[in-house]
Amino acid sequence: MKQNLQARFREQFGRYGDVMHDRWLNTPGWQRWILYVVLIVGALLLPSESIGSFMSPYTDWASILFFPIGTYVVLAIGLNVVVGQAGLLDLGFVAFYAVGGYAMALIGTELGWNFWLILLAGIGICALSGITLGGPTLRLRGDYLAIVTLGFGEIIRITARNTDSIGGPNGIRGIPHPPSIDELNVFGVDLYDLLGVKFFKYGVLDPRPYYYLLVALAVIVIILVKRWEKSRVGRAWAAIREDEDAAEVMGVPTFRFKMLAFAIGASIGGAMGVLWASKVISLNPNDFQFLLSATILAAVVMGGAGNLPGVMLGAFVVAWLPERFRGLQEYRMLIFGAVLVALMIFRPEGLLPSRQRKAELKEGAGGMGTLGAEVPGPESHGEEVASK
């Protein structure tokens, strides 16, 4: 009886999601752009203190918006390219975040480059790191690939801890901030005085300028990822995720597209690392634990792997709930875990799954390439899975 209630709830919720998805697909382009602009404006207004009193009553809301919420959202978008679209299970994604952070710290303190040059250099270094990792490992599949990427993430962290030239366990201090703009005049009007917010005044005390910079980075990343998703590249990733052998037989150069997914995901993670390091005064290897990779992966799966809005929602929930429960002190992580378990019971395919992934789960394939093909879905029968 309990299972029937859960199945009925999932079915009704899924049907409602399908109706909304169909309505969105039939919406004219100009109406979509209006909604996009409204969402961007809403994101810029989020640091409001009136919202913060509810969203984060125990900590500074503007700080929480930058880290962990905004950081998790951008990292989840990058990991979704690898896991959700290409079906490659990556457990060491935090390594690229660390490479980007250390690139910002080293180049900024040793060479004194401008932040924007370091951002471009960091993206290039992380893309090269993704290719370096993917070259010898992307012949592996499923859990073997997961173990190798997990090891890569730990190698980066342990190497940083044992290398004295980059600070060892103490890390690097004195990381420079992005260049500030002290005056912002348009036709003789000081916009800082008019708006009351210093968008481009980067320092230690006010986290809001970094949050606005993060929103700009997120918008650029979302546009690029959506373009790739709808292109030939995105269709190749979907084919690899569904059945890599079949895709290769049909002429898809699977290794090349998997390498591209790794490089793009690493670049996004590295860009976020550069931005994060430019805000903090110092970083050290303990900032890049495996737990961060696991949390971002949980956000992707819980939000709906392969569906960009779902992934962003999942990252928001995973990052926000522990801060919302901070008043519960030592019980907050227990409550947070219980909420995640409840969400996965009622929405095993994710909060906002793509239709394709829902179909994969219904047929018994988890939608994560060869690893997911072994995982039974919520409505599949154990005998059917065992016979495959």
- Give pLDDT tens digits along the chain (388 positions): 555 766 776 777 677 777 777 777 778 888 888 988 999 989 988 988 888 888 988 889 999 999 999 999 999 999 999 999 999 999 999 999 999 999 999 999 999 999 999 999 999 999 999 999 999 898 888 889 999 999 999 999 999 999 999 999 999 999 999 998 877 777 777 777 666 677 888 988 889 999 999 999 999 999 999 999 989 999 999 999 888 999 999 999 999 999 999 999 999 999 999 999 999 989 999 999 999 999 999 999 999 888 899 999 999 999 999 999 988 888 888 999 999 888 888 888 888 887 776 666 666 554 454 444 444 444 444 444 444 3
How much is the pLDDT for 314?
A: 94
Model pLDDT, residue 31: 87
Exposure string over 210-244, b if 16+ CB within 10 A, otherwise e: bbbbbbebbeebbeebeebbeeebbebbbbbbbbb
pLDDT score, position 164: 94
Write down the mean pLDDT value for the chain: 86
Question: Measured between alpha carbons, how far is residue 42 from residues 65, 180, 202, 300 in Å?
Answer: 13, 24, 22, 23
Beta strands in 61-212 (DSSP E): 172-173, 185-186, 189-190
In this predicted structure, what is the pLDDT of residue 15? 74
The CA–CA distances, whole Å, from 382 to 30, 364, 375, 377, 386 equal: 47, 9, 10, 9, 6
The whole-model pTM stands at 0.89
* Contact between 122 and 100 (Cβ < 8 Å): yes
For 186, phi then psi, to 5°, come to -130, 115
Phi, psi of 250 (to 5 degrees): -80, 0
pLDDT digits 0-9 by tens, 319-342: 999 999 988 888 888 999 999 888
Side-chain half-sphere CA neighbours of 369 within 13 A: 26
Please report the pLDDT score of residue 25 as a whole number: 73
The DSSP output letter for 167 is T
Residue 237 contacts residue 84 (beta carbons within 8 Å): no
pLDDT for the residue 198: 77
Which pLDDT belongs to residue 368? 52
Rg (CA), the chain: 22
Residue 377's SS3 state is coil
- What pLDDT was estimated at residue 377? 46
Whether residue 282 contacts residue 109, with contact meaning beta carbons closer than 8 Å, is answered with no
19-39 tens-digit pLDDT: 777 777 778 888 888 988 999
pLDDT at res. 369: 47
